[in-house]
Amino acid sequence: MELVEAISTRISARAFLEKPVSKSTVSKILDHARLAPSGSNMQPWHIHAVTGQVREQVIEKALAYAGEHPVGSVRQEYQSPPEAMVKPYKSRRYECGMALYSALGIDRKDKEARAKQLIQNFYFFGAPVGLFFSIHRTLMPGQLGDLGIIMANIMLLAREHGLHTCAQGFWQDVQPAVREVLDVPEEYYIYNGMAMGYLDQQHPANKMKIQREQLEQVASFSGFE
């Protein structure tokens, strides 16, 4: 698959088929993704890939943890998104939520339906594979960008294998549960998760329409002929 095709067919998938993904496929993806650049080649990432029983355990523990610490109620040391949001980010974020609810036929005021959709995050939206990205706390926030690069590599390599993904900042809110199941030491911060699997093409969540700003709005060119 051409890189441009991988970029343009990648979406944040929020419904997957039950079809499993083999260890060899996941390791091929991670083996190429690890070639990502990083500041001074520090490679400040650790990736946990889970499936099967371990995935179930993560889900179970995370749901139990969230029962006592509702998602969004605990302030994270690295708050993403930040509490005070300015234009145009606040409105883009709002529109993103609205686009998802509209694809799912959820009314903006229907708190229960919105909460149900949030809960899908715990289940990796039905994806058979979950990935977790952790970083040594001493490298935050400076090297978080490096994690973004390896995550992007994974998302694009996944396309080459016929797979889809969804990055999940969501997991930051239930870190203690993930930490316990995967034995992640306290000095590591669990920055993000990612769902990976085969796309459920028929599911309305995957028909969400999301726009990007035009090039002139996000890039400036200086000194060119």
Ligand X SMILES: Cc1cc2nc3c(=O)[nH]c(=O)nc-3n(C[C@H](O)[C@H](O)[C@H](O)COP(=O)(O)O)c2cc1C
- Looking at the Cβ atoms of 12 and 175, the one nearer to ligand X is 12
Taking the complex as a whole, the smallest distance from the CB of residue 121 to ligand X amounts, in Å, to 5
Residues in the chain: 225
- Looking at the Cβ atoms of 23 and 210, the one nearer to ligand X is 210
Q: Which residues bind ligand X (CB under 6 A)?
A: 11-12, 14, 96, 121, 166-170, 192, 210
C-alpha pair distances (Å), 71 with each of 26, 38, 162, 194: 29, 31, 32, 17
- Looking at the Cβ atoms of 131 and 166, the one nearer to ligand X is 166
Taking the complex as a whole, the smallest distance from the CB of residue 168 to ligand X amounts, in Å, to 4
Taking the complex as a whole, the smallest distance from the CB of residue 51 to ligand X amounts, in Å, to 19
**Encoding tokens for residue 211?**
């726009």
Taking the complex as a whole, the smallest distance from the CB of residue 224 to ligand X amounts, in Å, to 28
- Looking at the Cβ atoms of 36 and 225, the one nearer to ligand X is 36
Taking the complex as a whole, the smallest distance from the CB of residue 138 to ligand X amounts, in Å, to 21
- Looking at the Cβ atoms of 10 and 34, the one nearer to ligand X is 10
Taking the complex as a whole, the smallest distance from the CB of residue 13 to ligand X amounts, in Å, to 8
- Looking at the Cβ atoms of 85 and 210, the one nearer to ligand X is 210
Helix (H) or strand (E) holding 93: helix 89-104
Cα separation, 48 vs 183, in Å, equals: 10
Of the candidates 48, 38, 27, the one whose C-alpha atom is nearest the C-alpha of residue 181 is 48
Give the SS3 label for residue 217: helix
Which residues are bridge partners to 167 per DSSP?
194
